[in-house]
Chains A and B, each alone.
Chain A
Amino acid sequence: GENVEQHPSTLSVQEGDSAVIKCTYSDSASNYFPWYKQELGKGPQLIIDIRSNVGEKKDQRIAVTLNKTAKHFSLHITETQPEDSAVYFCAASKNSGYSTLTFGKGTMLLVSP
Protein backbone atom coordinates (compact mmCIF):
# COMPACT_ATOMS: atom_id res chain seq x y z
CA GLY A 1 0.00 0.00 0.00
CA GLU A 2 0.84 3.69 -0.11
CA ASN A 3 3.25 5.14 2.45
CA VAL A 4 3.56 8.90 3.01
CA GLU A 5 6.48 10.38 4.91
CA GLN A 6 6.27 13.98 6.13
CA HIS A 7 9.05 16.28 7.39
CA PRO A 8 9.71 18.07 9.62
CA SER A 9 7.49 17.00 12.50
CA THR A 10 7.76 20.48 14.04
CA LEU A 11 8.66 23.81 12.48
CA SER A 12 9.11 27.15 14.21
CA VAL A 13 9.38 30.37 12.21
CA GLN A 14 9.17 34.09 12.85
CA GLU A 15 6.20 36.02 11.56
CA GLY A 16 6.84 37.08 7.99
CA ASP A 17 9.22 34.22 7.22
CA SER A 18 8.44 31.43 4.77
CA ALA A 19 7.70 27.86 5.83
CA VAL A 20 8.21 24.70 3.78
CA ILE A 21 6.86 21.24 4.61
CA LYS A 22 7.91 18.24 2.53
CA CYS A 23 6.28 14.88 1.85
CA THR A 24 7.35 11.81 -0.07
CA TYR A 25 5.10 9.00 -1.28
CA SER A 26 5.83 5.44 -2.32
CA ASP A 27 3.14 4.48 -4.84
CA SER A 28 3.92 5.86 -8.29
CA ALA A 29 0.24 5.35 -9.23
CA SER A 30 -0.87 8.03 -6.74
CA ASN A 31 -2.20 11.06 -8.56
CA TYR A 32 -3.96 13.26 -6.03
CA PHE A 33 -2.15 15.18 -3.25
CA PRO A 34 -4.11 17.36 -0.81
CA TRP A 35 -2.91 19.37 2.17
CA TYR A 36 -4.99 19.81 5.31
CA LYS A 37 -4.67 22.28 8.19
CA GLN A 38 -5.83 21.28 11.66
CA GLU A 39 -6.26 23.82 14.43
CA LEU A 40 -6.30 22.72 18.04
CA GLY A 41 -9.42 20.76 18.97
CA LYS A 42 -10.86 20.91 15.45
CA GLY A 43 -11.07 18.69 12.42
CA PRO A 44 -8.67 19.14 9.49
CA GLN A 45 -9.61 21.53 6.70
CA LEU A 46 -8.48 21.24 3.10
CA ILE A 47 -6.28 24.21 2.18
CA ILE A 48 -4.91 23.23 -1.23
CA ASP A 49 -4.63 20.18 -3.45
CA ILE A 50 -2.80 19.21 -6.61
CA ARG A 51 -3.15 16.50 -9.22
CA SER A 52 -0.31 14.71 -10.92
CA ASN A 53 -0.80 16.47 -14.24
CA VAL A 54 0.23 19.78 -12.62
CA GLY A 55 3.64 20.72 -11.25
CA GLU A 56 2.68 23.69 -9.10
CA LYS A 57 -0.44 25.36 -7.75
CA LYS A 58 -0.80 28.64 -5.85
CA ASP A 59 -3.52 30.18 -3.74
CA GLN A 60 -2.53 33.55 -2.27
CA ARG A 61 0.20 32.86 0.32
CA ILE A 62 0.23 29.10 -0.07
CA ALA A 63 1.60 26.97 -2.88
CA VAL A 64 2.18 23.30 -3.50
CA THR A 65 4.83 21.81 -5.80
CA LEU A 66 4.94 18.25 -7.09
CA ASN A 67 7.88 16.26 -8.46
CA LYS A 68 6.46 13.03 -9.86
CA THR A 69 9.84 11.62 -10.80
CA ALA A 70 11.17 11.95 -7.28
CA LYS A 71 7.74 11.19 -5.76
CA HIS A 72 7.71 14.16 -3.46
CA PHE A 73 5.56 17.22 -2.96
CA SER A 74 5.89 20.29 -0.78
CA LEU A 75 3.76 22.96 0.85
CA HIS A 76 5.10 26.51 0.81
CA ILE A 77 3.65 29.24 3.00
CA THR A 78 4.97 32.77 2.46
CA GLU A 79 4.69 35.78 4.75
CA THR A 80 3.62 33.59 7.65
CA GLN A 81 1.23 34.96 10.26
CA PRO A 82 0.48 33.76 13.81
CA GLU A 83 -2.88 32.41 12.61
CA ASP A 84 -0.97 30.01 10.35
CA SER A 85 0.08 28.14 13.52
CA ALA A 86 -1.51 24.68 13.30
CA VAL A 87 -0.78 21.08 12.36
CA TYR A 88 -0.48 20.47 8.63
CA PHE A 89 -1.06 17.08 7.00
CA CYS A 90 -0.16 15.96 3.53
CA ALA A 91 -1.91 13.02 1.89
CA ALA A 92 -1.85 10.95 -1.29
CA SER A 93 -4.25 8.73 -3.17
CA LYS A 94 -4.97 7.19 -6.52
CA ASN A 95 -8.22 9.16 -6.69
CA SER A 96 -10.22 6.32 -8.18
CA GLY A 97 -13.09 4.12 -7.08
CA TYR A 98 -12.56 2.73 -3.56
CA SER A 99 -9.16 4.38 -3.29
CA THR A 100 -8.60 6.23 -0.04
CA LEU A 101 -6.25 8.92 1.23
CA THR A 102 -3.06 7.98 3.05
CA PHE A 103 -1.94 10.75 5.40
CA GLY A 104 1.48 11.80 6.60
CA LYS A 105 2.03 12.08 10.34
CA GLY A 106 1.72 15.84 10.38
CA THR A 107 3.86 18.93 10.93
CA MET A 108 3.22 21.29 13.83
CA LEU A 109 3.92 24.82 12.57
CA LEU A 110 4.46 27.55 15.15
CA VAL A 111 4.65 31.14 13.93
CA SER A 112 6.01 33.52 16.54
CA PRO A 113 5.06 37.23 16.46
Chain B
Amino acid sequence: DGGITQSPKYLFRKEGQNVTLSCEQNLNHDAMYWYRQDPGQGLRLIYYSQIVNDFQKGDIAEGYSVSREKKESFPLTVTSAQKNPTAFYLCASGGTTNEKLFFGSGTQLSVL
Protein backbone atom coordinates (compact mmCIF):
# COMPACT_ATOMS: atom_id res chain seq x y z
CA ASP B 1 0.00 0.00 0.00
CA GLY B 2 1.21 3.48 -0.81
CA GLY B 3 1.08 5.95 2.00
CA ILE B 4 2.75 7.95 4.70
CA THR B 5 3.74 6.31 7.97
CA GLN B 6 4.43 8.01 11.27
CA SER B 7 5.91 6.33 14.31
CA PRO B 8 5.54 5.95 17.16
CA LYS B 9 1.85 6.66 17.68
CA TYR B 10 2.48 7.75 21.28
CA LEU B 11 5.74 9.16 22.69
CA PHE B 12 6.71 10.41 26.12
CA ARG B 13 9.51 12.84 26.74
CA LYS B 14 11.36 13.47 29.96
CA GLU B 15 12.51 16.97 30.80
CA GLY B 16 15.80 17.84 29.09
CA GLN B 17 15.49 14.98 26.61
CA ASN B 18 15.53 15.14 22.82
CA VAL B 19 13.08 12.87 21.02
CA THR B 20 12.76 12.02 17.34
CA LEU B 21 9.53 11.41 15.45
CA SER B 22 9.71 9.29 12.34
CA CYS B 23 7.96 9.99 9.03
CA GLU B 24 8.31 7.78 5.95
CA GLN B 25 6.46 7.98 2.62
CA ASN B 26 6.40 5.70 -0.41
CA LEU B 27 4.33 8.01 -2.59
CA ASN B 28 7.40 9.35 -4.43
CA HIS B 29 6.49 12.86 -3.30
CA ASP B 30 9.16 15.54 -3.46
CA ALA B 31 7.81 17.68 -0.61
CA MET B 32 7.34 16.76 3.03
CA TYR B 33 5.96 18.79 5.93
CA TRP B 34 5.69 18.73 9.73
CA TYR B 35 2.71 20.31 11.46
CA ARG B 36 1.90 20.72 15.12
CA GLN B 37 -1.74 20.47 16.23
CA ASP B 38 -2.96 21.82 19.55
CA PRO B 39 -6.63 21.72 20.63
CA GLY B 40 -8.50 24.60 19.04
CA GLN B 41 -5.38 25.89 17.27
CA GLY B 42 -5.55 24.24 13.88
CA LEU B 43 -2.39 23.06 12.16
CA ARG B 44 0.79 25.12 12.44
CA LEU B 45 3.77 24.51 10.18
CA ILE B 46 7.05 23.57 11.87
CA TYR B 47 9.38 22.70 8.97
CA TYR B 48 9.07 21.68 5.36
CA SER B 49 11.30 20.28 2.68
CA GLN B 50 10.76 20.40 -1.07
CA ILE B 51 13.87 18.48 -2.06
CA VAL B 52 16.44 16.16 -0.52
CA ASN B 53 19.09 17.90 1.58
CA ASP B 54 17.09 21.13 1.73
CA PHE B 55 14.48 22.34 4.21
CA GLN B 56 12.91 25.60 5.40
CA LYS B 57 11.57 26.82 8.72
CA GLY B 58 7.84 27.17 9.11
CA ASP B 59 5.97 29.42 11.49
CA ILE B 60 6.98 27.68 14.74
CA ALA B 61 10.44 26.14 14.10
CA GLU B 62 12.04 27.13 17.41
CA GLY B 63 12.95 24.10 19.50
CA TYR B 64 12.70 21.68 16.57
CA SER B 65 15.14 20.29 14.03
CA VAL B 66 14.78 18.16 10.89
CA SER B 67 16.85 16.38 8.27
CA ARG B 68 16.08 15.23 4.74
CA GLU B 69 18.79 12.79 3.72
CA LYS B 70 16.44 10.61 1.70
CA LYS B 71 13.40 11.45 -0.40
CA GLU B 72 11.29 8.98 1.58
CA SER B 73 12.18 10.15 5.07
CA PHE B 74 11.75 13.39 7.02
CA PRO B 75 12.37 12.87 10.77
CA LEU B 76 11.56 15.58 13.29
CA THR B 77 13.55 16.05 16.49
CA VAL B 78 11.90 17.82 19.38
CA THR B 79 14.76 19.27 21.37
CA SER B 80 14.98 20.18 25.03
CA ALA B 81 14.73 23.82 23.92
CA GLN B 82 11.05 23.26 23.09
CA LYS B 83 9.48 24.09 26.45
CA ASN B 84 5.92 23.15 25.56
CA PRO B 85 6.22 20.03 23.39
CA THR B 86 2.94 18.35 24.31
CA ALA B 87 0.93 18.21 21.09
CA PHE B 88 -0.24 16.03 18.21
CA TYR B 89 2.39 16.03 15.45
CA LEU B 90 1.40 15.44 11.84
CA CYS B 91 3.64 14.69 8.90
CA ALA B 92 2.47 15.25 5.35
CA SER B 93 3.80 14.81 1.84
CA GLY B 94 2.82 16.18 -1.53
CA GLY B 95 3.95 17.84 -4.72
CA THR B 96 6.08 20.96 -4.66
CA THR B 97 3.00 23.11 -5.26
CA ASN B 98 1.63 21.87 -1.88
CA GLU B 99 -1.60 20.71 -3.47
CA LYS B 100 -3.34 17.57 -2.28
CA LEU B 101 -1.27 16.87 0.80
CA PHE B 102 -1.36 13.37 2.24
CA PHE B 103 -1.13 13.21 6.02
CA GLY B 104 0.12 10.48 8.29
CA SER B 105 -1.88 9.29 11.27
CA GLY B 106 0.08 11.43 13.70
CA THR B 107 2.22 11.09 16.84
CA GLN B 108 0.93 12.23 20.22
CA LEU B 109 3.86 13.57 22.25
CA SER B 110 3.46 14.06 25.97
CA VAL B 111 5.82 15.21 28.70
CA LEU B 112 6.44 13.01 31.73
Contacts and interface: CB of A to CB of B under 8 A. Distances in A.
A103 interface: yes
B7 to A, nearest CB: 13
Interface in B87-108: 90, 92, 96-106
B42 interface: yes
A1 to B, nearest CB: 8
B2 to A, nearest CB: 14
A25 interface: no
A29 interface: no
A104 B40 CA distance: 10
B97 A95 contact: yes
| Interface bin, chain B | 20 to 34
Interface residues of A, number: 26
With most chain B CB atoms within 10 A of its CB, the pick from A99, A101, A103, A106 is: A101
Contacts of A113: none
A97 B51 CA distance: 12
Q: Is the interface of A mostly helix, strand, loop or mixed?
A: loop
Nearest to A44: B103
B48 A100 contact: yes
B106 A46 contact: no
Given A43-B106, A98-B56, A100-B58, A89 B43 contact: yes
A95 B98 contact: yes
A61 interface: no
Interface in B55-105: 56, 58-59, 90, 92, 96-105
Interface of A: 1, 6, 9, 32, 34, 36, 41-46, 49, 89, 93, 95-101, 103-106
